[in-house]
């Protein structure tokens, strides 16, 4: 075991002033470590969406009736609050796990050599999204699960999923200029797919806000809309997304597109089929809680799969910096 270096007063001051720079000067993670660190927030973002759904589906939305404390007198759930208090407080605690995952991703990205500012910024974007959504989650409790704030809470979680998915992808590619792998018409079709998927998710939150699962056993305000009509609109949008995906797959095959866009489109199509089956079964079986929770998990997978299709339309090569020799100059090139 090697000798542990002494930490000087200057080191301690530097660590306090800029802990990320202090760590980056003394640690260089492998590319694989950075990739795994970027994956953890994505996984935790899905987990917290699913557990948030469990809070609503078990009627535990007001298990902790206030925020940031669980009750006026206790920071944590108490035994007297029972099952609902434990569920709601447990979901709150998962926010700290998510924060830890995002923090680890930021540290790994900041310490990678050469320094990749774009990757670090994606980590910080996730941090601020987590913080703002935690505050929004507190507002949801304070206003008694108002359905509009619940919808905004879910959409903010969806935005976090998007940034996490982009960071995970960027961690596995270089910082060179993006090279398109398909033509402009295909890119435009994929953007139509992204917009349709965004509308699908947004209308899904309206279905939730007007539907029977209010999130608590007490009287909770619902959106003044006909639930079945909104659910049918949601189904129409789902079919539009499926149709666009199938059209994209057909076009990519016709133009002999590279393997990566084809594979990602196939993955999206399979996820959509599974999500569609769950959606129709839950509709015709009066929305059993287990299937609704599974549908929320599927919503996360659909959104991630859509973003992976979008990101697969280009490649970003490595950017290398050649260190100068005795009479050489620094050159910046791009690997083929």
Domains defined for the chain, CATH in brackets: 26-175 (no CATH), 179-316 (1.20.120)
Look at residue 29 in the predicted model and tell me its pLDDT: 94
Quickly count: other Cβ atoms within 10 Å of residue 17's Cβ. Answer: 9
Look at residue 324 in the predicted model and tell me its pLDDT: 42
Look at residue 11 in the predicted model and tell me its pLDDT: 63
Look at residue 75 in the predicted model and tell me its pLDDT: 87
Whole-angstrom distance, CA of residue 115 vs CA of residue 267 = 33
Q: How far apart, in Å, are the Cα atoms of 69 and each of 60, 64, 65, 90, 141? A: 16, 8, 9, 13, 11
Buried b (16+ CB within 10 A) or exposed e, 60-83: bbbbbbeeeebeeeeeebeeebee
Q: Render pLDDT for 69-115 as a digit per residue (tens, 0 to 9).
A: 888 888 888 887 888 888 999 999 999 999 999 999 999 999 999 98
Q: How far apart, in Å, are the Cα atoms of 262 and each of 183, 185, 235, 288? A: 14, 16, 25, 35
Helix (H) or strand (E) holding 4: none
Helix (H) or strand (E) holding 314: strand 314-315
Give the pairing type, strands 179-180 and 314-315: antiparallel
Length of the chain: 336
What's the distance, CA 5 to chain centroid? 39
Query: Residue 331: helix, strand or coil by DSSP?
Result: strand
Q: Render pLDDT for 257-300 as a digit per residue (tens, 0 to 9).
A: 899 999 999 999 999 999 999 989 988 888 888 898 999 999 99
Q: Return the half-sphere exposure (C-beta side, CA atoms, 13 A cut-off) of residue 53.
A: 22
Helix (H) or strand (E) holding 180: strand 179-180
298 — phi, psi (to 5°)?
Answer: -65, -35
Q: Which pLDDT tens digits describe the chain residue by residue (336 residues)?
A: 445 456 676 666 666 677 888 888 889 999 999 999 999 999 999 999 999 988 988 888 888 888 988 888 888 888 878 888 889 999 999 999 999 999 999 999 999 999 899 999 999 999 999 999 999 999 999 998 899 999 999 999 999 999 999 999 999 998 888 899 999 999 999 999 999 999 999 999 998 888 887 676 667 788 888 888 998 999 999 999 999 999 999 999 998 889 999 999 999 999 999 999 998 998 888 888 889 899 999 999 999 999 999 999 999 887 754 434 334 333 334 333
């Amino acid at each position: 075991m090697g000798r542990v270096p002494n930490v000087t007063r200057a080191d301690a001051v530097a660590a306090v002033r800029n802990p990320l720079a202090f760590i980056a000067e003394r640690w260089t993670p492998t590319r694989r470590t950075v990739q795994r660190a970027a994956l953890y927030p994505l996984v935790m973002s899905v987990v917290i969406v699913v557990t948030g759904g469990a809070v609503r589906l078990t009627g535990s939305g007001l298990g902790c009736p206030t925020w940031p404390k669980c009750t006026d007198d206790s920071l944590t759930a108490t035994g007297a609050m029972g099952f609902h208090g434990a569920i709601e407080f447990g979901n709150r605690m998962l926010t700290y796990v998510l924060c830890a995952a995002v923090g680890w991703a930021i540290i790994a990205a900041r310490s990678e050599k050469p320094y990749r500012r774009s990757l670090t910024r994606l980590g910080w974007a996730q941090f601020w999204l987590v913080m703002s959504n935690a505050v929004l989650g507190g507002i949801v409790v304070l206003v008694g699960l108002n359905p509009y704030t619940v919808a905004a809470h879910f959409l903010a979680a969806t935005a976090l999923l998007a940034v996490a998915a982009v960071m995970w992808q960027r961690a596995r590619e270089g910082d060179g200029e993006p090279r398109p792998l398909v033509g402009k018409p295909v890119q435009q079709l994929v953007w139509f797919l992204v917009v349709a998927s965004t509308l699908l998710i947004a209308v899904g939150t309206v279905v939730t806000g007007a539907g029977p699962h209010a999130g608590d056993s007490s009287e909770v305000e619902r959106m003044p809309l006909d639930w079945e009509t909104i659910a049918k609109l949601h189904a129409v949008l789902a079919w539009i997304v499926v149709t666009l995906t199938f059209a994209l797959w057909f076009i990519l095959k016709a133009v002999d597109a590279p393997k990566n866009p084809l594979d990602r489109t196939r993955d999206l199509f399979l996820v959509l089929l599974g999500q569609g089956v769950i959606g129709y079964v839950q509709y015709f079986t009066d929305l059993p809680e287990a299937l609704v929770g599974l549908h929320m998990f599927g919503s996360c997978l659909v959104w991630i799969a859509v973003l992976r299709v979008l990101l697969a339309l280009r490649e970003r090569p490595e950017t290398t910096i050649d260190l100068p020799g005795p009479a050489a100059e620094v050159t910046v090139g791009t690997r083929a």
